[in-house]
Structure 1
């Protein structure tokens, strides 16, 4: 149980402090539902009026929100890091992909290093659980499941780094991934040979973090991001080629339709006949001049 009984000073401030720490450290994630009021009051060992006061204050701080008849949930406190408007700018301007990948390359290196140095037994258990599920999805050829667990794997390593600012920054980056702002992750995995290579890279990162080798973990994370950047570049180029090829095909088909349209062939035929008639006329005039020259001589 993540909630702890408040032994002393059973006030709303004590409840607020406990819930804020759980949100800050990423234990309570955006969208997580809090237990019902009676149950939560028993967990933290305070009266329901005190709990209601604490929840109201947290809601005023925009850390939680309530749905009528649906319960109380943790708010998306990391969303503003990249606002919807910013995400749309990224989506509409492909050069932002390179900046995003460059940033993630460095931040993933730092995260993997810190996770290797700081991971607790509980952290390693979480990372192992996620990685095992990812391996099962990979072996089963379940790309959609593996894509989702890819993000979970990186988040688990981010949590094991035990740096609050880093954790929330990573989550904002992964939100862009989940929303396919920069590229389609499923298409990325289906790109020739990518799935096997990505899983192999995750295996290397996992092994390094598990054995506490910070240098190897950081190097593996950077190598992984270098590969991601290479494949994303190829996927984007392939997409551009597809667009150009489609435009060429459309133009050829439009030209064929114009040539087959009623009246088009007649115009072309008349024009051709005119050219041919003009050619024969020139030949007759040349022959006449030759005869006139012969008679005059």
Structure 2
């Protein structure tokens, strides 16, 4: 990841390289940097120069030295909304539709760009995640399927090679990880949905692999439309089941009187 600095071996050159690694998403929030000795060797700079660079990065709140040893990339993915707004949205289901509208647009754009810009390693990563999804599906590991679902969408965002889009998506997916808008495992508990969603992810990956931005966009939009409808149906089914449960209780209540 780190490259030798051939000339102008200054602290500014080190700062610039590490900043670009963070900006391009190669260094993530929470990643630990190599030890001072190893990092200085990889960069080809003296340890005093490296210390000056790390101090600058720390002053800019990009890295932090943690108690117990080690230097880490700071938590750089800020929330889209404040905690108060997130709580507010979670209490009002009318906002869920707006959430899917947002995701439909931004993820379709990411898939389209990925079809144009994805590097061979991006394609390999998508293919690998998809294979893991198939294996989790075969063994009916719902938790693994749900986690891999999120990994897949992260990989598509990274394959788009757009810095602003990448960090926006990461912030968006942080909310999804918290289950604010919907519980992924709830979707995967529906047998038909598990198979359908797997096929949809395969279609997105195939379009990106084939370099077809139109097909990638359409596959992404169709996926979000399906998830929105499937979750709505699951919610309605839960309501019907709750009502049926109440009806089963009615005769017992009547007898007790």
What's the TM-score once normalised by structure 2's chain length?
0.92
Q: Say which one has the larger Rg.
A: 1
The corresponding residue for 1:229 is 228
What SS does the aligned partner of 1:79 have? coil
Distance in 2 of aligned mates of 1:248 and 1:213: 52
Stretch of structure 1 that moved more, 235-244 or 13-22 = 235-244
Taking the TM superposition and a 5 Å limit, the aligned residue runs for 1:1-297 are 2-244=1-243, 259=257
- Structure 2's unaligned 5+ residue stretches are none
Deviations 1:219-274 (A, max 9, x none): 111111110110121222234445555666778766665x3xxxxxxxxxxxxxxx
Distance in 1 of aligned mates of 2:244 and 2:175: 29
Indicate the RMSD between aligned Cα atoms, in angstroms: 2.0
What SS does the aligned partner of 1:82 have? coil
What SS does the aligned partner of 1:98 have? helix
Distance in 2 of aligned mates of 1:240 and 1:43: 59
Which is bigger in relative contact order (C-alpha 8 A, separation at least 6)? 2
Please say if residues 90 and 96 of structure 1, whose CA atoms lie closer than 8 Å, have aligned partners that are also in contact. yes
Deviations 1:164-189 (A, max 9, x none): 11111111111111110111110111
Deviations 1:205-226 (A, max 9, x none): 1111101111111111111111
- The number of residues matched between the two structures is 257
Please say if residues 5 and 13 of structure 2, whose CA atoms lie closer than 8 Å, have aligned partners that are also in contact. yes
Please report how far the alpha carbon of residue 199 of structure 1 lies from its aligned counterpart in structure 2 after TM superposition.
0.1
Please say if residues 145 and 188 of structure 2, whose CA atoms lie closer than 8 Å, have aligned partners that are also in contact. no
What's the TM-score once normalised by structure 1's chain length?
0.80
Distance in 2 of aligned mates of 1:80 and 1:51: 31
